[in-house]
A and B are shown apart, each in its own frame.
Chain A
């Protein structure tokens, strides 16, 4: 790597050639404020707060647009820089409402933070503030199906404009009017309609763009913990952070409150799609299965694991002893690698080396309509682990590129050849695709036994003889292999509810009740077995994978925008800890938490 060395505030800083002074300062932990700059977007140079003094240059320079050169001498603390920065911040605040106490960005707002750190102590503005759509909450106007816009708070950094143009590929946001009257707008107030619209909340450095989903629901100080995890709602595997809100003390556990993207240049860059961001409510939803259930004459009855297991064993043994080929499994490709491995051990133990032929892996596909110029594509395959199933030897047809191959199973069920069908469905609802053929067989009486291991009381689960409560993706530490073949660690953010168990554990218990002792006590044991079984593959180190733990959110604020995360890692460590939350957090940032910036 070719490097240049410059001096910033008297410190020698060495950075990759071609990086900007702002980059260099951030990497060196030197605090320089900025708004229009975002590492995932083009440089604009318009907000003017990142100005610094560079020796031999006549005027103050914007550090976001100045490329580092050898021997450059930069000051971010010279008196003229301090004054100039404060005056730009004063300009930014002359029309910005001071409604931080009711603003959704309050507590994680770069304008708030930088104004405290670098701004003037008081404003000299004594004219009424500019108001666009009304005062207070009336100023929040419709900005499309997922977003709200508050123009009074907007500081015209144009990150949203550039995001839509450069990343989404459909420039739906523009500026209308000019100069003092400029405002962010969509054509004729039609709103933003994009599959990746939620990122606009992340890029907005103030509370102008908020998501309808998160708005008014929580404040940063109500979110004591964040877990770095992976989204599993499609085959892309975006790196995300799951935000936990503390419930009142009497409610014990914490609650999943939002998902934000986490920088990974190899997978998702700085972004994630709206499906992954907003489709998490089912995890703690009303239909969640919390206990095993058994079918009685008058319907499904909630029972304990100790009641469910003997019944399940008896019925499967009955079906299997009559005709082993009549016992089949249908696994969603949302099933994690650990559980698929245990399932493989189970079927091979029960049915012999050819056991995997009894398992059908299924998923759904839907074409995502996106602009042709988008630089963030959302894949069609809605399941995260088709490649994980492939690597374990399951039959997956054309894999991520095509539809699942379930014709044999469908045919056999319709022909009445199947005596027992065991379905694994870790959610979300609908990810098995069409199940009408199973329901039909149940109605006809041609499928005598249906076992459903699931998270939600779906139509299929409601038709089952035995329902076993499994875990959703944020409720377990597990591996998933994305469309690129990248094995990623999905970390547990919350515990499975009630008596629900992680899916590998459900399968291990089922195996044990059928007389098959697999010996897994923890998910790590399964990964150890995977590593041993699959040397010379990406899974060879499965047992060494590190999973993230909940960490104090104060180190994670701005996690959606790593370019801003540094200041929490470097600047505010001496803040008192956030109080009154129920999740154990650590006081220091995780090792390696600092994420390097994208080169510009």
Chain B
């Protein structure tokens, strides 16, 4: 709607925002399985509170294509029945959502006090050297993304690394290079899993 000829509506001459935007992405809809999961989850909340399922919906979308595109956020908005801006608001607030592609293994090194006291800063340095990337970057093969995160809540098993949804504990700086090789050869089996779990229980291999 233009109210008078002097008002500039073609914004080409204006400066553009420097904000990093999510990729537009191709058409996105939940797979039938994910749609069913979403529908089951949203039923846990009162009928007029669909927005409560937004984090769950975003996890589903992220699992489905690895990261969140603008199209995926729009789809989530339509499922939640809110605006796309509200979805982006939530996505950008929480640290566990990615708006650009990440590696197959996202190494989240806990950097907060208890882990740092036991060498987490050195672990990051060694992982960085082994992978040839800085924190926040993905290696050229797209296999590993290195991140530093705040307290993971397993301070007794410091330093702790969360790899995707799996955990690896008491990673010493000396073991970092071998750890990367181990992941390359054994995948998830390379992770220690979380503390206290016992042989024969779910959650990967037992503690060393």
A/B contact in complex, CB under 8 angstroms: yes
Q: Mark B3-14, 1 if CB is under 8 A from A, else 0.
A: 110111101001
Q: In the complex, what residues of A have CB within 8 A of residue B3's CB? A: 274-275, 278-279, 281
* Cα(A28)–Cα(B7), bound, Å: 42
Instruction: Report whether A133 and B17 are in contact in the complex, using a CB–CB cutoff of 8 Å.
Output: yes
Q: Does A174 contact B (CB under 8 A)?
A: yes
| 19 interchain pairs, CB-CB under 8 A | A132-B18, A137-B15, A141-B15, A142-B15, A145-B7, A146-B7, A149-B17, A151-B17, A170-B83, A171-B85, A172-B85, A174-B89, A185-B85, A187-B84, A189-B16, A212-B7, A278-B3, A278-B4, A285-B4
Q: Cβ of B4 and Cβ of A176 under 8 Å apart? A: no
Taking a contact as CB atoms under 8 Å apart, the answer to whether A177 and B16 are in contact is no
A282 adjacent to chain B (CB < 8 Å): yes
State which residues 140-175 of A face B: CB under 8 Å.
140-142, 145-146, 148-149, 151, 170-175
Residues of B within 8 A of A187 (CB): 70, 73, 83-85, 87-88
* B18 and A133 form a contact (CB under 8 A): yes
Known: A281-B4, A281-B6, A282-B4. A189 touches B19 (CB 8 A): yes
Which residues 247-304 in A have Cβ within 8 Å of B in the complex?
274-275, 278-279, 281-282, 285
In the complex, chain B residues 64-97 whose Cβ is within 8 Å of any chain A Cβ: 70, 73, 82-89, 92-93
Q: Taking A145-B2, A174-B88, A187-B84 as given, write out 7 further A-B residue pairs in contact, using a Cβ cutoff of 8 Å, ordered by the A residue number.
A: A133-B17, A134-B18, A145-B1, A176-B88, A188-B24, A213-B7, A274-B1
B85 in contact with A142 (CB, 8 Å): no
- Residue in A140, A141, A178 whose CB lies within 8 Å of B92: A178
B residues at A contact (CB < 8 Å): 1-4, 6-9, 11, 14-19, 21-22, 24, 70, 73, 82-89, 92-93
- A279 cross-chain contacts in B, Cβ below 8 A: 3-4
Is B82's CB under 8 angstroms from A171's CB?
yes
Chain B residues near A195: list those with CB within 8 A. Answer: 1
Choose one: A145, A148, A186, A285; the contact of B85 (CB below 8 Å). A186
B19 touches A134 (CB 8 A): no
* Residue A9 interfacial (CB < 8 Å): no
Asked whether, in the complex, the Cβ of A171 is within 8 Å of the Cβ of B83, the reply is yes
Closest to B89 in A: A174
The one of A138, A171, A183, A281 in contact with B19, judged by C-beta atoms closer than 8 angstroms, is A183
| Binding site secondary structure of chain A | mixed
Interface size class of A (residues with CB under 8 A): 35 or more
Nearest-neighbour CB distance to chain B for A257, whole angstroms, equals 13
Q: Which 3 A-B pairs have the closest CB atoms?
A: A174-B89, A281-B4, A176-B92
Binary CB contact string for chain A from 302 to 342 against chain B (1 if under 8 A, 0 otherwise): 00000000000000000000000000000000000000000
B-side contacts of A281, CB under 8 Å = 3-4, 6
Residues of A within 8 A of B89 (CB): 174-176
B88 close to A142 (CB less than 8 A): no
Residue of A nearest to B86 (CB): A171
Name the residue of chain B whose CB is nearest to the CB of A281.
Answer: B4
In this complex, the member of B2, B9, B17, B87 whose beta carbon has the largest number of chain A beta carbons within 10 angstroms is B17
CA distance A146 to B7 in the complex (A): 8
Once the chains are docked, how many angstroms separate the CA of A548 from the CA of B84?
A: 44
Q: Closest CB-CB distance, B162 to chain A, in whole Å?
A: 20
Question: What residues of B have a CB within 8 angstroms of the CB of A145 in the complex?
Answer: 1-2, 7, 9
Known: A185-B88, A186-B85. A141 touches B70 (CB 8 A): no
Given known pairs A171-B85, A174-B85, A176-B88, the reply for A278 and B7 (CB within 8 Å) is yes
Question: A149 — which chain B residues lie within 8 A by C-beta?
Answer: 17
Chain B residue nearest in CB terms to A277: B3
Cα of A138 to Cα of B18 in the assembled complex, Å = 10
Chain A residue contacts of B83, Cβ below 8 A: 170-172, 187
A132 and B85 contact, CB distance less than 8 A: no
Q: What residues on A are CB-neighbors of B9 within 8 Å? A: 145
A138 vs chain B, min Cβ distance (A): 5
Cα distance A279–B14 in the bound complex, in angstroms: 22
B residues in contact with A285, CB < 8 Å:
4
Q: How far is the CA of A148 from the CA of B92 in the complex (A)?
A: 22
Which of B1, B6, B82 counts the most A-chain CB atoms under 10 A from its CB? Answer: B1
B14, B15, B86 interface centre (most CB from chain A within 10 Å): B15
| Chain B residue contacts of A188, Cβ below 8 A | 21-22, 24, 70, 84, 88
> Does A177 lie within 8 Å of B93, measured CB to CB?
yes
Contact A142 B19 (CB under 8 A): no
Question: How far is it, in angstroms, between the C-alpha of A186 and the C-alpha of B86 when the chains are bound?
Answer: 9
CA gap between A177 and B91 in the complex, in Å: 8
The reply to whether B93 and A212 contact each other, CB–CB distance below 8 Å, is no
Q: How far is the CB of B103 from chain A (nearest CB, A)?
A: 22
CA distance A281 to B19 in the complex (A): 34
Given contacts A174-B86, A278-B3, contact A141 B16 (CB under 8 A): yes
In the bound complex, residues from chain B placing their C-beta under 8 Å from that of A186 are 85
A185 B19 Cβ-Cβ under 8 A: yes
Q: Kindly supply a per-residue 1/0 record for chain A positions 496-527, scoring 1 wherever the CB is within 8 Å of any chain B CB and 0 otherwise.
A: 00000000000000000000000000000000
Q: Which residues of A540-569 are within 8 A (CB) of B?
A: none
Kindly supply a per-residue 1/0 record for chain A positions 187-209, scoring 1 wherever the CB is within 8 Å of any chain B CB and 0 otherwise: 11100000100000000000000
Min CB distance A336 to B, Å, is 22
